[in-house]
Amino acid sequence: MRRHAANWLEVAERVFNFRRDLLTDAQRQMLQGATGELKLRLQEKADVGKLKIGIEKLEGVLEKTGGRQYPANSMVENVEFFLVAAIVILGLRAYFIQPFKIPTNSMWPTYYGMTHEVFKPGEEPNVLERVGRFLAFGASRYEVVAQADGEVYMAVKPNINPVVTLVEGRTLHLIPTQKLEYYFSVGDEVTKLDVPLDFNFNKVLESGFGDFAPGHYAPTASQFLQEGGERKRGVVTLVQDGQKYEQTVYWLSLGKKVRKGEKIISFDILTGDLLFVDRITYNFFPPKVGQGFVFKTDNIRSPYMEKPQGSGNQVKQYYIKRLVGTPGDVLEVKSPFLLNNGQPITGAVAFDKNARREGLYRGYENRGRLASGNRLTIPEHNYFAMGDNSYESLDSRYWGFVPEKDVVGRPLFIYYPLTTRWGPAR
């Protein structure tokens, strides 16, 4: 009954705060009197009977003074609850902790972007396993089904790279997004496959088709022809910016024959790591070499920061890399070593593992601004960022320095997927 009384007092306080400028003097006195009486009975630890009398008196007053606040409409309460929750979440996101998803594998194996798992015929997960994989790892199912009997071909360019177009799609069937579309052919029947924009589909082709995958020959078509490969020319209808057009392509055999209804390839895409980013620390302490490093790309002016490249359309996203250079530092790569001021760089486990090429870490590659023999000094109010997986990382070696004003924060905690990486960020 005391908890019940406390709830009524909360309602009364709400009514008073919302409507005190609308109440008459008599109504205010009546509401304050009934509220004060019930509070007094709570303080005196009155028995159930006296508390009930106080509650019923306050309820009667609220019916006369409550307006829209009492009796409360459940829809209004729900809307208000979600509105307040949204304000709190947006405030936390803007000033304290921001959720972030790793899209690519530039920081692999420290952080994982989207990865894949190819299944052999008959080894695909059943319905329950698929639900479990979705909940635990964010796994989404993709497959290409043959529309006819025959040999499997893939549309490629003259240099044996896959033909791919940018198409509009939806995430969870609701949120507009862009996807990459690839083309397969069996018995002159063309089948399309859409995958997420940042996903590296070439890795799937290598896993599924091995030496027959387009990446095995690209970018030297002559190598493919010397090895006895054959290409046949065809035409496919592509869609770009909402416009349909026909393009001549070459059909590359993937070394596999299927029957109608069989799967050309079946695989899962596992979500990239989802983590929380600490947005507050860098307001008081400068970033340190070796820390994970989240920043905005809005003011990084480079052809590499345009989508599509060279279009002039600035990429405006959040990126995550490893901070390897602060103002005044001199950087150099002598593969597999990354040198800072002439010494092997320190400050992160990933630095040490790359230097030793330990496990999945492959060392640092001398490309772009840190090509072999180049030494680079970091200018004032700027930072230099690189991926732990430097062989597959588009980073400051290509698009340049990160302006100090665009620094956002540092990785704090990987909260999904539920793998061994779950926990404090490295």
The predicted structure's pLDDT at residue 141: 94
d(CA 82, CA 196): 31
Which residues are within 8 A (CB) of 137 and not within 5 positions of it... i.e. 6 or more apart? 270, 271, 417, 418, 419
Residue with the larger pLDDT of the pair 219 and 235 = 235
Using alpha carbons, list the distances in angstroms from residue 314 to 100, 148, 215, 319, 407. 20, 43, 29, 14, 17
Per-residue confidence band for 196, with pLDDT thresholds at 50, 70 and 90: very high
Per-residue confidence band for 310, with pLDDT thresholds at 50, 70 and 90: low
φ and ψ at 219, to 5 degrees? Answer: -95, 15
- Judged against a pLDDT cut of 90, whether residue 214 lies above it is answered with no
Instruction: Give the residue extent of every domain in the chain.
Output: 2-65, 115-270, 274-424
d(CA 141, CA 158): 31
Per-residue confidence band for 267, with pLDDT thresholds at 50, 70 and 90: very high
d(CA 157, CA 183): 12
Crossing angle of helices 48-65 and 2-19, rounded to 10°: 20
d(CA 363, CA 389): 8
φ and ψ at 119, to 5 degrees? Answer: -110, 140
User: 25-77: per-residue pLDDT in tens?
Assistant: 999 899 999 999 999 998 988 999 999 999 999 989 988 888 777 776 667 67
- How many angstroms from the chain centroid is the CA of residue 90? 17
d(CA 62, CA 30): 9
If DSSP states are collapsed to H, E and C, what string results for the chain?
CHHHHHHHHHHHHHHHHHHCCCCCHHHHHHHHHHHHHHHHHHHCCCCHHHHHHHHHHHHHHHHHHCCCCCCCCHHHHHHHHHHHHHHHHHHHHHHCEEEEECCCCCCCCCCCCCEEEECCCCCCCCHHHHHHHHHHHCCEEEEEECCCCEEEEEEECCCCCECCEEEEEEECCCEEEEEEEEEEEECCEEEEEEEECCCCHHHHHHHHHHHHCHHHCCCCHHHHHHCCCCEEEEEEEEEECCEEEEEEEEEEEEEEEECCCCEEEEEEEECCCEEEEECCHHHCCCCCCCCEEEEECCCCCCHHHECCCCCCCECCCEEEEEEEECCCCEEEEECCEEEECCEECCCCHHHHHHHHCCCCCCCCCCCHHHCCCCCEECCCCEEEEECCCHHHCCCHHHHCCEEHHHEEEEEEEEEECCCCCCEECC
Flag the least confident range among 11-25, 161-175, 293-307, 346-360: 161-175
- Judged against a pLDDT cut of 70, whether residue 309 lies above it is answered with no
- Judged against a pLDDT cut of 70, whether residue 398 lies above it is answered with yes
Give the rounded percent of residues in the chain with a pLDDT score beyond 70: 95
The predicted structure's pLDDT at residue 74: 66
351 contacts 338 by C-beta, under 8 angstroms: yes
266 contacts 118 by C-beta, under 8 angstroms: yes
- Averaged pLDDT, 8-24: 89
The predicted structure's pLDDT at residue 91: 85
260 contacts 146 by C-beta, under 8 angstroms: yes
- Please calculate the CA angle 117-123-126 and round it to the nearest 5 degrees: 95
The predicted structure's pLDDT at residue 181: 92
CATH architecture observed for domain 274-424: Ribbon (2.10)
- Averaged pLDDT, 374-378: 95
The Cβ of residue 2 has, within 10 Å, a number of other Cβ atoms equal to 12
Using alpha carbons, list the distances in angstroms from residue 134 to 124, 200, 354. 14, 20, 32
Q: What is Dmax (Cα atoms) for the chain?
A: 99
The predicted structure's pLDDT at residue 67: 79
Give the rounded percent of residues in the chain with a pLDDT score beyond 90: 61
Residue with the larger pLDDT of the pair 312 and 167 = 167
Handedness of CA 78, 80, 86, 88 (dihedral sign): negative
- Please calculate the CA angle 260-254-234 and round it to the nearest 5 degrees: 80
Per-residue confidence band for 178, with pLDDT thresholds at 50, 70 and 90: confident
The predicted structure's pLDDT at residue 356: 96
- Considering the chain, what is the average pLDDT of its residues? 89
The Cβ of residue 35 has, within 10 Å, a number of other Cβ atoms equal to 22
Flag the least confident range among 224-228, 247-251, 265-269, 310-314: 224-228
391 contacts 279 by C-beta, under 8 angstroms: no
User: 75-126: per-residue pLDDT in tens?
Assistant: 767 788 888 888 888 888 878 888 999 989 999 999 999 999 999 988 999 9
The predicted structure's pLDDT at residue 239: 67
- Judged against a pLDDT cut of 70, whether residue 241 lies above it is answered with no
d(CA 219, CA 215): 8
- Averaged pLDDT, 353-376: 94
How many residues are present in the chain? 426
- Averaged pLDDT, 358-365: 95
